[in-house]
Chains A and B, each alone.
Chain A
């Protein structure tokens, strides 16, 4: 599924924001994740062996130029416009296992809005890098096993703000997310592409020699 030539591991870690935290849009085109408590936390893992662990997403991010895709015409199913934009900035992800932290560098490639629903990295690109963990939790070890991963966040507004409106509005809401390790393909993709190009070249050479003989 990934457009990066990386495979995904089997089971994602799913999480939700905790009470007192939110994703906050600042009204000037940026957004952050607010936290609560000490150490700062804004997410809780909801499944797998990491269930109940707290974590924190931090960083300041910026919404780029908004592109609106109009609904199809005719539009018998009343499809709404979709707005998308790049999301710049760099942050970090931390998951506390009680004694050891998992840490990672976080970026968001894009943001998308459709009706009341919004998502960060809906394209499921690799957006977690430098994942480091030296603890013993099985799912955190799995997430950190390759050093990179994919993190997707969804959130919602009943008022159905378009991204253009969202950039100009100071507003917060709840969110949920899923993350999974991205497994490098160890050069298999490159090997297959190379074999394909070689095959095409071979066919062209054979065809050319036949045409010359003819």
Chain B
């Protein structure tokens, strides 16, 4: 029983530190589509982001008011429907850019999935890492915070009236407004591995200590 408790405790310990292996920074960068831009579905199962040089504006933080750009051509995969919800994978690669006036933050962008419930749609609803190769050499504090990470998460939402499920959306040419949030995952620089090693060592020491104790005392 005691041994079981030890294993449970060790398991919890390991779970906690593994869950912390990629921290999210505290404050996401939120953005919205600009006037004259939008997310456009092309009736051939694909979508892209319209606009000229800029199609997003940062709406909060130290970079509020900065313009940016989401580019790339993406393709919606096979649609699965659950009641009023439809889900599909999304393939394709694009780029996420924020202009600070003199220097660009750039990142490679993918969308793992798209989900539709009623009028609402979300890309990367599962919050998976979908921003990689983040580069920035400027001085804005929020953008520097983004660039300190090796990876980030970008989630976008948008909406349609009337309601369109993903199957209909794949065969419709239509554009709408969107908003999004970006947050970075900070690498732990070996801390996780160190804590895991400590946890395993502690469990091992406990087992050795227990095996040396006599299980029955003879009189």
Residue pair A51, B36 in contact (C-beta under 8 Å): yes
**Interface with A: B12-20, B52-60, B91-99, B204-212, which one?**
B52-60
- B178 near A: Cβ within 8 Å? yes
Contact yes or no, B60 A174, CB < 8 A: yes
Tell me if A112 counts as interface (CB < 8 A to partner B): yes
Known: A52-B35, A72-B82. A112 touches B117 (CB 8 A): yes
* Nearest residue, chain B, Cβ from A124: B119
B71 within 8 A of A: no
Shortest CB distance B135–A (Å): 20
B122 CB contact (under 8 Å) in A2, A18, A117, A172 = A117
Cα separation A176 to B87 with both chains bound (whole Å): 21
Bound Cα distance A18, B33 (Å): 9
Would you give the shortest CB distance from B127 to chain A, in whole angstroms? 5
Bound Cα distance A175, B160 (Å):
14
> Interface size for chain A: under 10, 10 to 19, 20 to 34, or 35 or more residues?
35 or more
For B144-155 the 0/1 string (1 means CB < 8 A from A) is: 000000000111
**Which residues of chain B are near A77, meaning CB under 8 Å?**
80, 87
Interchain nearest-CB distance for A181 vs B (Å): 10
Using CB atoms, name the residue of chain A closest to B119. Answer: A152
B residues 158-189 with Cβ under 8 Å of A?
158-163, 175-183
Measured CA separation A105–B91 after assembly (Å):
41
List the B side residues contacting A114 at CB < 8 Å: 85, 115, 117, 122, 125
Q: Does A155 reach chain B (CB closer than 8 Å)?
A: yes
Q: Are A21 and B59 in contact (CB under 8 A)?
A: yes
- A93-101, A156-164, A193-201, A204-212: which lies at the interface: A156-164
Q: Is A12 an interface residue (CB 8 A)?
A: yes
User: Are A173's CB and B30's CB within 8 A?
Assistant: yes
**Residues of B contacting A15 in the complex (Cβ-Cβ under 8 angstroms):** 177
The answer to whether the Cβ of B121 comes within 8 Å of any Cβ in the partner chain is: yes
A135 within 8 A of B: no
> Inside 8 A of A154's CB, which chain B residues have their CB?
119-122, 157-159, 179
User: Which of A25-33, A40-48, A59-67, A184-192 binds B?
Assistant: A40-48
Kindly report which residue of chain B lies nearest to residue A50, judged by CB atoms: B35
Would you call A47 and B36 a contact (CB within 8 A)? Answer: yes
The secondary structure that dominates the B interface is strand
Q: Which of A117, A173, A177 contacts B125 (CB 8 A)?
A: A117
Q: How many residues of B contact A (CB 8 A)?
A: 52
A147 to B57, CA, bound (A): 32
B168 to chain A, nearest CB (A): 11
**Complexed CA–CA distance, A175 and B157 (Å):** 8
Question: Which residue in A8, A51, A160, A176 is a CB contact (below 8 Å) of B179?
Answer: A176
Q: Give the distance to chain B from A67, nearest Cβ to Cβ, in Å.
A: 14
Which of A72, A78, A172, A179 touches B161 (beta carbons < 8 Å)? A179
B64 within 8 A of A: yes
- Give, as a whole number of angstroms, the nearest-CB distance from B20 to chain A: 14
Task: Indicate whether A46 sits within 8 Å of B28 (C-beta atoms), given known contacts A1-B162, A119-B117.
Answer: no
Neighbouring B residues of A91 by C-beta, 8 Å:
none
Q: CB distance A119 to B119 under 8 Å?
A: yes
| Residue in contact with A123 in the complex, picked from B24, B31, B118, CB distance below 8 Å | B118
Interface of A with B (CB < 8 Å)?
1-2, 8, 12, 14-22, 44-47, 51-52, 72, 77-80, 82, 112, 114-119, 121-124, 150, 152-160, 172-180
26 A-B residue pairings within 8 Å (CB atoms) = A1-B162, A12-B176, A14-B38, A18-B32, A19-B58, A20-B59, A22-B30, A72-B82, A77-B80, A80-B126, A114-B122, A115-B115, A116-B124, A117-B157, A119-B118, A122-B118, A123-B118, A124-B119, A124-B163, A152-B119, A152-B160, A152-B161, A157-B28, A176-B32, A176-B157, A178-B160
In the A-B complex, list the 10 residue pairs whose CB atoms are closest, starting with the nearest.
Answer: A117-B122, A119-B120, A122-B118, A115-B125, A16-B32, A154-B157, A116-B155, A174-B30, A1-B162, A14-B177
Give the interface of B toward A (CB within 8 A). 24, 28, 30-38, 57-60, 64-65, 80, 82, 85, 87, 115, 117-122, 124-127, 153-163, 175-183
